[in-house]
Amino acid sequence: MPFHILFLVSIVAGFIGALSGMGGGVILIPVLTLFGMDIKYAIAVSIVSVIATSSGSASAYVRDRITSLKVGMFLEMFTIVGALAGAAITLVSGRRILFILFGIVLLSSWFALFRQKNEDWRQASHQDIFSRWLELEGSYYDRSVRQRIVYQGARAYLGGPLMFGAGLIAGLLGIGAGALKVLIHDLVMGLPPKVSTTTSNLIIGVTALAGTSVYLAAGMIDPGLAGPVILGVVSGAFMGTRLLVRLTNLAVRRIFLWVLLVLGVEMIFRGIRGG
Amino acid sequence: MQVSSHPPEKAQSDHHFDMESLVGHILLAGVLLSVTLLTVGFVWRWARVGNLRFEHSIAGMNFFEFILSTLQQTASQAFRPRLFLNMGMGILMLTPFVRVLASVFYFAFVEHNWKYTLFTGFVLSVLTYSLFLR
């Protein structure tokens, strides 16, 4: 695939990924396959670019002291093992299965976003012994409300194994699976939304590296293809983040809902039809 | 929701500040350096041959062999666009690895938190194993 097409497709994927907060992979992989790239190579190229976008945004959030490093470092133990298993499954899977799985993930994300309600965060009613032993409490200064928010992470015994599943999907499909990680942080572990999102970003980088190593060993990562994708996704994400502050949440959501729905249906259709 | 109106600086310990600063700066430096090297590689390639197409494979190498071969080429001063591309890719993949390595040292020698030294040590071991995969 020519450099300029790869680069432009990656800019658009990074741009939409940053606007929606779902990362570039969910857009990049379906579009690369539409341009004729083998889905397994698209997954391998995408997962390398995920390292760049997640590390870039995580660096800012960590320095702003919103990310919970201890939550992140505990959960990484599960996601990296999941990512290794997921990537190994992709190597032996049929392409049709990957198309269908990708379509299901896109439609599930569409459904989650469609049903999303902007409810206020509620602190977990009490912190269990295991989570207390893991020191999963923390605080951050929320500039929007000018207050220090104190929180206690809970149910780590459930969060850990569930994060194995999130890592598995990340390695399997070459995406960050950030939406799933945020959901586990929010609903299971009772973390505030900003801590969930920023901690998920930190975890995604290490998880993507584990997946990348499997694809690299399989000879599926070509620097000539990965280079333009990394540059494009990073540039697109940079532009998307800047535009995000000027757009309303509703406008972003409407655009992304349509994109997810069309790509999800299209991927499942191609999987059933035979790639 | 528990809140307090303390400004951020007052409620943070020095250790917390150092750990987050260390991790944040490693990630930022890694991504910026990688993107710069990749850009140099492509711009140089375009200036030299008029196209941006690289046709070289790194198949058959695991991550550490890839890094070793890139370092050998750098040491022998065999500078060419391809080397910059490889350096950019290598630095990008090393970024999360170095972040985990730094976390292990920080938890072990600065915070003396053996629980988290063990957790980050486990992550580092699995990552190291995965980077030696064939």
pLDDT digits (tens, 9 = 90+) for A72-117: 999 999 999 999 999 999 999 999 999 999 999 889 888 877 776 5
Look at residue B17 in the predicted model and tell me its pLDDT: 54
Query: What is the value of pTM for the model shown?
Result: 0.88
User: Considering CB atoms only, which of A140, A208, A216 is closest to B62?
Assistant: A216
Range(s) of the domain holding residue B81: 15-50+59-131
Residue B45 lies in a domain: yes
Is position B83 within any domain? yes
Highest-scoring range by mean pLDDT, A126-140, A245-259, B8-22, B114-128: B114-128
**pLDDT of residue A203 exceeding 80:** yes
Place of tokens 């695939």: A1
> Is B10 domain-assigned?
no
**What is the C-alpha to C-alpha distance for residues A61 and B24, in angstroms, rounded to an integer?**
8
Please give the interface size between A and B, counted as residue pairs whose CB atoms are below 8 Å apart. Answer: 190
In tens, the pLDDT along B6-16 reads: 444 444 444 55
Q: Which domain holds residue A47?
A: 3-273
Q: What pLDDT shows up at residue B13?
A: 47
How many angstroms separate the CA of residue A141 from the nearest CA in chain B? 5
Q: Does the beta carbon of A215 lie under 8 angstroms from any beta carbon of chain B? A: no
| Closest-approach residue (CA) in chain B for A78 | B123
Q: Do A80 and B126 touch (CB under 8 A)?
A: yes
For the segment A187-207, the average pLDDT, to the nearest whole number, is: 88
Count of domains for chain A: 1
Q: What is the pLDDT of residues A138-155, one digit of tens each?
A: 888 887 778 888 899 999
A77/B123 Cβ within 8 A? yes
Say if B2 falls within a structural domain: no
Number of folded domains in chain B? 1
Give the CA distances from residue A28 to residues A87, A192, B87, B127, in Å, rounded to whole numbers and listed in that order: 18, 29, 24, 26
CB proximity under 8 Å: B 18-57 to A: 19-21, 23-28, 30-31, 34-35, 38-39, 41-42, 51-57
Specify if B69 maps to a domain: yes
**DSSP-derived secondary structure letter, B11:** G
**pLDDT value of residue A4:** 85
Beta partners for residue A149, in sequence order: A140, B3
Which residues, in sequence order, are CB contacts of A144 under 8 Å at separation 6+? none
